[in-house]
């Protein structure tokens, strides 16, 4: 293997046995086949590691290999003119040493599988011994929750558009309101000046009497890597009431249930429930339009909505106080990372289908 035109950035922890994160970029020649490692037009993900002694296992971040030299003409270290095809593979590292592999093969056929880090190092057989990663899920303890496309393009019928939304920012902006912004931002919470979280409120009085699934639909405005975002729900009467704190007044200081300390997400209590653990917000992208703006994502909030409507008392020990729900978004972990942005309620009329809404089936 030969590596050229590379830029590999890493940080070594003073308190640990190895690197804290690793950010590779380059073009490589592997057995006379040329591949580009990550995207020269974007900053690669940080790959973060867990350590057991001196053994390191990636726990977050991703790598993408594409066929041919995609460096934009700045790389001429390899002879010939390698012709790329449309094949690629993205390896996304998750907790517990699991790796999600998603891509398109040389025949143009999409594939998706989950492997263990150890089995990849041993070039093992998918699904063979030692390759027992699950697909992840909600509620914590597994891998990230996989991205799901929206089943609809626009709210209709019994669907409910959010009644209020806003992002909040810490540091010197702790009393600044961003509730009238056209987007919803989320960023790592380790640095208060950098931190962003966002809130959504839904009034459920017009929800259908019966449904099998309730999905939160968000529309992408700006894509940033595969930064997982966790979704929480307030399950008591200390939620965000826009009649008490208006969209143009909510901020880091007065936002309900906001833990104002660096590195913390939301108040640890019976009043806040983790709904979706580390949703990855990265659907497979069309080859001609990587990470397209306007992609819609679906997050399953069925149990939470049913509880708020009084139909699932076992969901929380706290009974619902009203038919209003508050959804909270934050990036878990202690990394100072940027996250994707989403369309808010405050967008032009012609873009109204991009507003956050609940879809019922």
Where would I find the H helices in 72-191?
117-121
**pLDDT value of position 347:** 95
Structure tokens at 211: 């449904």
Helix H or strand E segment including 133? none
Q: Which H, E and C letters describe 271-331, residue by residue? A: CEEEEEEEECCCCCCCCCCCCCCCCEEEEECHHHHHHHCCCCHHHCCCCCCCCEEEEEEEE
* Cα distance between residue 341 and residue 221, in whole Å: 5
* Cα distance between residue 36 and residue 142, in whole Å: 31
**pLDDT value of position 80:** 65
* Cα distance between residue 306 and residue 300, in whole Å: 12
How much is the CA Rg of the chain, to the nearest whole Å?
Answer: 22
> Of 216, 348, 191, 214, which Cα lies nearest the Cα of 281?
216
CA angle 131, 134, 137 (to 5 degrees): 160
SS3 content of the chain, % helix, strand, coil (to 5): 5, 35, 55
* Cα distance between residue 39 and residue 225, in whole Å: 11
> Could you tell me if 201 and 161 are in contact, meaning their C-beta atoms sit under 8 angstroms apart?
no
**pLDDT value of position 132:** 47
Strand ranges across the sheet with 19-23 = 9-12, 19-23, 47-52, 55-60
Structure tokens at 182: 């056209």
pLDDT in tens, the chain (361 residues): 888 888 888 887 765 566 778 888 998 888 778 899 998 888 888 888 877 666 778 888 889 999 988 887 777 667 666 678 889 999 988 766 778 888 888 888 887 777 778 777 764 444 444 444 543 323 333 456 888 899 999 999 999 999 999 999 999 999 999 999 999 999 999 889 999 999 999 999 999 999 999 999 999 888 776 688 999 999 988 899 999 999 999 999 999 999 999 888 898 777 899 999 888 887 765 555 555 578 899 999 999 999 999 999 888 888 888 899 999 999 987 678 888 899 999 999 999 999 999 999 9
> Could you tell me if 163 and 133 are in contact, meaning their C-beta atoms sit under 8 angstroms apart?
no
The per-residue DSSP string of 327-345 comes to EEEEB-SS---EEEEEE-S
* Cα distance between residue 57 and residue 100, in whole Å: 14
Structure tokens at 190: 């380790």
- How many Cα atoms sit within 13 Å of 277 on the Cβ side? 12
**pLDDT value of position 31:** 77
* Cα distance between residue 142 and residue 95, in whole Å: 7
Structure tokens at 280: 């990855």
> Could you tell me if 296 and 149 are in contact, meaning their C-beta atoms sit under 8 angstroms apart?
yes
Alpha carbon 67 to its chain centroid, in Å, reads 26
Structure tokens at 340: 């994707």
């Amino acid at each position: 293997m030969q590596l050229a035109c590379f830029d590999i950035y890493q940080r070594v922890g003073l308190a640990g046995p190895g690197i804290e994160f690793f950010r590779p970029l380059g073009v490589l020649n592997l057995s006379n086949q040329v591949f580009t490692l990550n995207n020269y037009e974007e900053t690669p993900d940080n790959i973060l590691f867990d350590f057991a002694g001196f053994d390191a296992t990636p726990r977050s971040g991703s790598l993408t290999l594409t066929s041919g030299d995609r460096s934009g003409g700045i790389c001429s270290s390899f002879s010939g003119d390698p012709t790329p095809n449309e094949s690629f593979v993205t390896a996304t590292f998750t907790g517990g040493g699991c790796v999600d592999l998603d891509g398109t093969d040389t025949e143009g056929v999409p594939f998706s599988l989950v492997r263990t880090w150890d089995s990849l190092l041993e070039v093992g057989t998918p699904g063979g011994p030692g390759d027992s990663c699950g697909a992840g899920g909600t509620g914590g303890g597994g891998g990230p929750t996989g991205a799901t496309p929206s089943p609809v393009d626009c709210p209709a019928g019994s669907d409910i558009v959010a009644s209020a939304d806003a992002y909040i920012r810490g540091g010197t902006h702790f009393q600044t309101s961003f509730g009238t912004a056209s987007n919803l931002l989320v960023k790592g919470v380790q640095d208060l000046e950098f931190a962003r979280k966002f809130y959504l409120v839904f009034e459920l009085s017009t929800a259908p009497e019966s449904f099998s699934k309730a999905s939160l639909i968000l529309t992408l405005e700006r894509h940033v890597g595969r930064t997982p975002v966790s979704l929480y729900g307030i399950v008591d009467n200390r939620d965000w009431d826009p009649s008490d704190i208006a969209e143009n007044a909510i901020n880091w200081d007065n936002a309900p249930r906001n833990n104002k300390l660096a590195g913390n997400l939301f108040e640890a209590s019976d009043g806040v429930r983790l709904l979706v653990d580390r949703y990855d917000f990265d659907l497979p992208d069309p080859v001609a339009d990587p990470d397209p703006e306007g992609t819609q994502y679906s997050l399953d909030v069925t149990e939470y909505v049913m509880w708020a409507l009084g139909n699932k008392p076992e969901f929380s020990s706290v009974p619902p106080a009203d038919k209003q729900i508050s959804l909270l978004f934050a990036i878990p972990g202690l990394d100072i990372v940027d996250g994707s942005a989403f369309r808010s309620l405050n967008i032009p009329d012609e873009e109204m289908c991009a507003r956050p809404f609940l879809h019922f089936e």
